[in-house]
Amino acid sequence: MGAWGICCLGSINLSNFVNGGKFSFYKLEQVTSVAVRFLDNIIDLAYYPLPETEAYAKGLRRIGLGTMGLADALIKLKKRYGSHEALATIEDIYSRLRNEAYWRSILLAEEKGKFPWYQKKHLEHPFVKAVLPKIPYAGLEIWSLRNGVILTQAPVGSTALLFGVSSGIEPNFDFKMIRKDR
């Protein structure tokens, strides 16, 4: 991030979407939609100790929606981490999360306005042109985005430990450990 950069982070616990050996994509999309709105609202509600930080936060409206608990979700689905079956599931999970997050940001732009630093060149980014499905891309052309950055995969070691799930997108390396903190 550049000078005065700030990012409002949130993580979705993927392990919570597995029930009876099935992954609920519907619930994931619902939670993703709420999470994007929630993180966007925090930008407006947060206290900023420096005017430069506030200007950056509100100019770019950077949020970072990520995940934790992927390895635990795969265990509940009885899919070996790294297998072809698991990779197909992971592709499905993250493409749906991506699509819903971007679609929600497009709808928020229609409702509340695009992020102030938006420029038409954002539509020319290779990620936007190649990866996003056609409907959200069309929405981008019409309404733009509410957030300059939407997704991330931040390290969530302590947070994942708090919730008792695997960290981020990594496999479980060990099921027993001793953590020493100051």
Written as tens digits, the pLDDT of the chain (182 aa) is 788 988 899 999 999 999 999 999 999 999 999 999 999 999 999 999 999 999 999 999 999 999 999 999 999 999 999 999 999 999 999 999 999 999 999 999 999 999 999 888 888 888 887 778 777 777 777 888 999 999 998 887 767 666 777 777 777 666 666 767 77
The single-letter code of the amino acid at 79 is K
Residue 145 · residue 127 · CB < 8 Å: no
What integer pLDDT is reported at residue 123 of this predicted model?
A: 80
Q: For the whole model, what pTM was predicted?
A: 0.89
pLDDT for 23 equals 98
As beta bridge partners, residue 22 has 19
The per-residue pLDDT for 173 is 63
**Hey, what are 87's tokens?**
């990779």
What's the CA gap between 100 and 36, in Å, rounded?
9
- CA nearest 105: which of 42, 39, 152? 39
Q: How far is residue 89 from each of residues 48, 70, 130, 148, measured CA to CA in Å? A: 40, 10, 21, 28
**Residue 65 to residue 79: CA distance in whole angstroms:** 24
Backbone torsions φ then ψ of 166, nearest 5 degrees: -65, 150
What the block records as the tokens of 63 is: 């949020």
How far apart CA 37 and CA 25 sit, in angstroms, is: 19
What does the pLDDT read at residue 35? 98
- Residue 147 CB coordination number (10 Å): 27
Q: What is the pLDDT of residue 163?
A: 72
